[in-house]
Amino acid sequence: MQLYNKLSASERAALIDEAGKDRLTISFYQYFKIENPTLFRNKLFLEWNELDVLGRTYVANEGINAQISVPAENFLALKEQLDAISFLKDIRLNVAVEQDNKSFLKLKVKVRNKIVADGLNDDSFDVTDKGVHLSAKDFNEMLADPNTVCVDMRNHYESEIGHFEGAVTPDVDTFRDSLDIIEEDLKDNKEDKNLLMYCTGGIRCEKASAYYKHKGFKNVFQLEGGIIEYTRQVKAEGIENKFLGKNFVFDHRRAERISDDVISNCHQCGEPCDEHVNCENQACHLLFIQCASCREKMNTCCSDECKEVAALPYEEQKELRRGKGNSNKIFKKGRSEALKFKK
């Protein structure tokens, strides 16, 4: 019984090219008490592996958070599988705005303590007492209300390349960092302002809205389905788009363009740019914004030091990394001092 990946990312990419079939990138989440996350995880892996599903999914006692891709021809079969699971029947599937057959190259279904790392003690408040969900049309109307404070519940590197007009964009590295900061900044307006929140697909707002209601905020609202569903409704219903720039996504695409606005700049030269890259030096792997000119000049590196390392033979680079820990632990997402024009 196969419960793990047998192919490398490069081998999978080659198979996708060989198949020549379109794939759909999809995300969904659901808060629900899962008694045996490991058993549920194994069930999903086995069923999804049969459908050639790829992607990253977290399962916990509190529910599921999935970002996956599936061959377009298997989409209905996937939906049938999900509908056969009681708490996932008719779940909203957020289909990506821009498609890429290689958005994911492995199937990873992991058991975690939480489906989103929020740092909250869920036993201290009613997580089901959520804010009011708004459609794109209603969101736009509330956004225009002067009595509204709109808050981006995402991290700095996400909101830097795209956000709603007039939104508060906390300068934070993680979702858990933003919760206390937002509460402190808005402590004097808990009763007289509309707290309007949004995130990528809605999952962060689900927990945050309940948390803020617990903290005394009286008028709490959230964008139903996040930026992804907002964009779908804007296109389908001819609604005015109030989102500027790109929507950051956590797969190989890195972002989806929502409007033509470029609201960020290259972290190395300062020119308008909203293209994220990872530093070519694998011991660094820093996520930052780099224009085409700097990418060519710096060989997709964040600094001259990293450029020198990345130019070394692979075995020498590997030896330099020996004993220095996993590069993910120094994944600073644009905070490096080497970047002159970072946010």
Bridge partners, 221 (sequence order): 132, 196
Q: How many CB atoms lie within 10 A of CB 23?
A: 24
200 half-sphere exposure, CB direction, 13 A CA radius: 28
For the CA atoms of 93, 98, 103, 108, what is the dihedral angle to 10 degrees? Answer: -10
Cα 83-19-56 angle, rounded to 5 deg: 45
Grouping H, G, I as helix, E, B as strand and the rest as coil, residue 77 is helix
Quick check: is 150 catalytic? no
Grouping H, G, I as helix, E, B as strand and the rest as coil, residue 287 is strand
The Cα–Cα gap between 152 and 168 comes to 6
| Secondary structure (DSSP) of 160-207 | TTEEETT-B----SSHHHHHHHHHHHTGGGTTTSEEEEE-SSSHHHHH
Question: Which residue in 199, 266, 291, 294 is the catalytic one?
Answer: 199
Burial class (CB in 10 A: 0-12, 13-18, 19+), 252: middle
Q: Which residues are catalytic?
A: 199
